[in-house]
Amino acid sequence: MSISFHENSKEFHLYNDEISYIIKILRNGQPGHVYYGRRLHDREDFGYLVEYARRDMAPYPYEGESKFTLEHLRQEYPTYGSGDTRYPAFELERADGSRVADFKYKSHNIFKGKKTLEGLPATYVETDDEADTLELVLEDEILQTQIILSYTIYEELPVLTKNVRFVCENTEGVTLLNCMSGCLDLPDRNYEMTELAGSWIRERHVHTRKLNYGIQSVYSMRGCSSHQFNPFIMLRRENTDEFSGEALGFSLVYSGDFLAQVEVDTYDVTRVVLGIHPNEFRWELKDGESFQTPEMVMVYSDKGSNGMSQVFHKLYRTRLARGKWRDKERPVLINNWEATYFDFDEEKILNIAGRAKELGIELFVLDDGWFGKRNTDNCSLGDWYPNLEKLPGGIKGLAQKIENMGMKFGLWFEPEMTNKDSDLFRAHPDWLLADIRRNYCHSRNQYVLDFSKQEVVDYIYAQMRKILKEAPVSYIKWDMNRAFSEVFSNGNDKVYQGKVRHKYILGVYSLYERLIQEFPDILFESCASGGARFDPGMLYYAPQAWTSDNTDAVDRIKIQYGTSFAYPLSSMGSHVSASPNHQARRSTSLDMRANVAYFGTFGYELDITKLPEEELKVMKRQIEFMKKHRALIQKGTFYRLQSPFESNSSAWMVVSEDGVEALMAYFRITQPANGKFERIYLKGLEPSAEYHVCEQFGAEMDYGDFCGDELMYAGVSVSDSSAGLAGVAWNQQGDNFSRLFYINKN
Ligand code: GLA
């Protein structure tokens, strides 16, 4: 890995064994983009890749010269005001209202390692040899402002990260109106764009469209990264599939409003930008102040979209997630939400916990309803002290009893919210993030607290800290259950309002950071009505996230499959819940529910005190199974084998880091009548090694020994007797059928 600077051609070449990224300082001093893709040999001058042409109507900055125009040059950080009339990557306003900018190369700095971003989550290195960084310093002398473009290339992964810092040295100040974290101008538009779109209980479904002229984008203006879109897009060639061809992943390490935009101009140049959504963003910088954008992560894969995902998984699991829990096997938990909702008391909780302990569950999580006088969702958020009617010994007493049973105790909080019926709101009505002089919307009867204000963050911190100090809490589920609707910070001026949305997220990050530093042993799980904040920013603080409020096994296949495009299995909270399922009203077998939930962090969320003895026996075995295999699942290499978005059946597998064992799950939604024979082609095995294949649970079939090449190229037959006369065979399962195979090297 290296970053070379060629003085004569003014080119920077960032490369490792797999990728190259080339920047050239253009004639006008702006950084131009030359190349991003598979590794190229280094050379002194790649200038031939920058093409110039005269095209009428284009603006030319040099008098008497009609070939050099920013309109048709690919750039690193395009600006308004130097001839480019496409969407710029940033906009700055001077005190007199001028938005014209012309930032020119001033200097650069190349160093080993990677800096942290103050107050913001970001990928990191453990030793400086893991990555090299280039900082390009640009300056606009008239604006008296600098832009520092940072690029980090990882040694072992085809990953390049970008971020931007603005430094104002203008006595009159400047105002940032838009500041994307990075831009990539690609030379053609022969790509398909994949995005993860959905809604509550239907998160991160995979959608793909062909790029076309104009703008295509995904975004959030909801204050969180959202159920609707995820801060991730993939561009891939039309012939790219899961395992071959070019796939370019773009991801933003941020949890608030974002924009991921692709603009294709009519000369087929594709411009990708990712960053904070400019909606309501207006950041005034005084002399001496700076602004740091979030980080944008780019992954290049020539091994298909699955190859791209595996790189994201590795990077986000090992160099974004942090702390004690990053590499630890995650505890099998039970959460009381779908078991009791608000209707519980200590006795009921202890009954569930006692039964859970017998089953081998390691962590009991007490969800919503333990604080203030909360028995419905219309009160008490913000009053983080225990309801002693429900829990006479408080959280301390309950947590201690659960610890005494030999289990760990976890607790739900929703720190960023309040209800009108709460002590917090009665004392501080102006702490709402809403224009309280007019009508403002509730959502689930709750209101957003103004986390842009330090005093609000401090108040919530003090309450949470008190509980965590006195009770043995090992896990926190941090929820966030509504979108922003009318953002206004009461008591603050106009300039402040332009900063509120971003400051809010910085407030959330700072509270996380304080708690993590003070309670480093706690495992955090983020949540936002299920998966509305399943983003890389959160993973820096909470190594796992509640993937969706939808716990139905069938729906979860699509949700978890889509989520796997950017996020590792170790980050996906996944539980076995009741059947019929509470969201989808669908009935599925206990095996099927577990076969989906294994591929994540695994737990239960149903009233186990009401289950028949046979089901409890099955659960006990499931828990043993998960404990035995969770290192493989949570740290292994994940392969999407067959998409649930494309057919009635789907499959995925995970291969252990050392390649010794693997698990493959196959799911079929509706039972075909006299259907086809079906095979699943495994991945990631050694062709010449011999493996033992054994079906788990239900069937418990021992299939014998096979070579890796047979399993990968000839495939594993998953046909059952539905291929023929519907009959009495054991594997004639009906709808919502799943199979799980354990593959072990001999
Ligand atoms: C959200 C979460 C759920 C549960 C409830 C409690 O919907 O996603 O898992 O915690 O809140 O109110």
Closest CA to 364 of 319, 324, 316, 400: 400
Does ligand 1 come within 6 angstroms of the Cβ of 409?
no
Active site residue 549: yes
Enumerate the CATH 2.60.40.1180 domain ranges in the chain, comma separated: 642-745
**CATH number among 3.40.50.620, 3.40.50.10470, 3.30.70.20, 2.70.98.60, domain 3-319:** 2.70.98.60
Q: Using the predicted structure, report yes or no on whether residue 245 has a pLDDT greater than 70.
A: yes
In DSSP notation, 629-689 reads HHHHHHHSEEEEEE-TTTSSEEEEEEE-TTSSEEEEEEEESSPPSS----EE---S--TTS
Nearest CA to ligand 1 atom 11: 529
Q: Which of 185, 479, 591, 720 is catalytic?
A: 479
Regarding the beta carbon of 605 and ligand 1, being less than 6 Å apart is answered no
C-alpha 530 – ligand 1 centre gap (Å): 7
Q: Using 50, 70 and 90 to split pLDDT, how confident is the model at 698?
A: low
Confidence grade of residue 699 (pLDDT, cut at 50, 70, 90):
low
* Cα–Cα distance measured from residue 81 to residue 104, given in angstroms and rounded to the nearest whole number: 13
> 84, 450, 549, 552: which one is catalytic?
549
Q: Rounded to whole angstroms, how far apart are CA atoms 706 and 701?
A: 15
Compute the average pLDDT of residues 47-70. 93
Ligand 1 pocket check for 525: Cβ under 6 Å: no
> What's the sign of the alpha-carbon dihedral 151, 536, 147, 27?
positive
Phi, psi of 619 (to 5 degrees): -60, -40
Contact 630, 656 (CB under 8 A): no
* Distance of alpha carbon 709 from the chain centroid: 34
State the SS3 of 361-405.
CCEEEECCCCECCCCCCCECCCCCCECCCCCCCHHHHHHHHHHHC
Confidence check: pLDDT of 730 > 70: no
pLDDT in tens, 540-578: 999 999 999 999 999 999 999 999 999 999 999 999 999
Ligand 1 centre distance from Cα of residue 733 (Å): 33
Residue 728, pLDDT > 60, answer: no
Q: What is the pTM of this model?
A: 0.98
Rounded to the nearest integer, the mean pLDDT of the chain is: 96
Question: Options 2.40.50.140, 2.60.40.1180, 2.60.40.420, 3.40.50.300; which CATH number does 642-745 get?
Answer: 2.60.40.1180
Residue pair 247/305 in contact by the 8 Å Cβ criterion: yes
Identify the residue whose C-alpha is closest to ligand 1 atom 7: 529
Which residues belong to CATH 3.20.20.70 in the chain?
A: 333-419+453-474+497-634
Model pLDDT for residues 638-684, shown as the tens digit of each residue? 999 999 999 999 999 999 999 999 999 999 999 888 889 999 999 99
Cα–Cα nearest to 399, from 458, 506, 476: 476
Task: For residue 247, give Cα distances in angstroms to 193, 233, 374, 667, 719.
Answer: 10, 10, 48, 26, 32
Confidence check: pLDDT of 388 > 80 = yes
Determine the distance separating the centroid of ligand 1 and the alpha carbon of 479, expressed in angstroms. Answer: 7
pLDDT in tens, 443-456: 999 999 999 999 99
Inform me whether the pLDDT recorded for 56 exceeds 90. Answer: no
Distance in Å, CA 480 to ligand 1 centroid:
8
Average pLDDT over residues 111-140: 98
Per-residue pLDDT tens over the stretch 584-623: 999 999 999 999 999 999 999 999 999 999 999 999 999 9
pLDDT above 70 for 1: no
Q: What is the 3-state secondary structure (H, E, C) of 113-182?
A: CCCCCCCCCCCCCCCHHHEEEEEEEEEECCCCEEEEEEEEEECCCCEEEEEEEEEECCCCCEEEEEEEEE
Summarize pLDDT for 147-162 with one digit per residue, the tens. Answer: 999 999 999 999 999 9
Ligand 1 touching residue 371 (CB < 6 A) = no
Q: Is 549 in the pocket of ligand 1 (CB under 6 A)?
A: yes
Q: What CATH fold (topology level) applies to the domain 333-419+453-474+497-634?
A: TIM Barrel (3.20.20)
Q: pLDDT tens-digit profile of 486-501?
A: 999 999 999 999 999 9
For residue 729, how far is its CA from the centre of ligand 1 (angstroms)?
A: 41
Using the mean position of ligand 1's atoms as its centre, give its distance from the Cα of residue 622 in Å.
25
**Beta strand 11-15 with 2-6: parallel, antiparallel or unpaired?**
antiparallel
Measure the CA–CA gap between 88 and 365, rounded to whole angstroms.
47
The amino acid present at 691, given as its one-letter code, is Y
The candidate with the shortest Cα–Cα distance to 271, out of 155, 191, 158, is: 191
pLDDT score recorded for residue 735 = 92
**Phi/psi-derived region of residue 369, left when phi > 0, alpha when psi is between -120 and 50, beta in every other case:** left
**Interacting residues of 613 by C-beta distance below 8 A, sequence separation 6+:** none
Indicate if 479 belongs to the active site.
yes
Determine whether the shortest distance from the Cβ of 203 to ligand 1 is under 6 A: no
Backbone φ and ψ for 462, nearest 5 degrees, come out as -60, -40
366 lines ligand 1 (CB under 6 A): no
CA 243 from chain centre, in angstroms, equals: 22
Segment 16-55, tens digit of pLDDT: 999 999 999 999 999 999 999 999 999 999 999 999 999 8
- Sign (positive/negative) of CA torsion 36, 40, 42, 44? negative
> Does 725 score more than 80 pLDDT?
no
Q: What is the CA radius of gyration of the chain?
A: 27
Q: Please determine, for residue 579, whether its predicted confidence score (pLDDT) is greater than 80.
A: yes
Residue 722 has pLDDT above 80, yes or no: no
- Number of helices (H), then strands (E), in the chain: 13, 39
Is 414 a pocket residue for ligand 1 (Cβ < 6 Å)? no
Contact 634, 656 (CB under 8 A): no
Q: In this predicted structure, what is the pLDDT of residue 719?
A: 85
CB 452 within 8 A of CB 503: yes
pLDDT band at 103 (very low <50, low <70, confident <90, very high): very high
- Where are the CATH 2.70.98.60 domain residues in the chain? 3-319
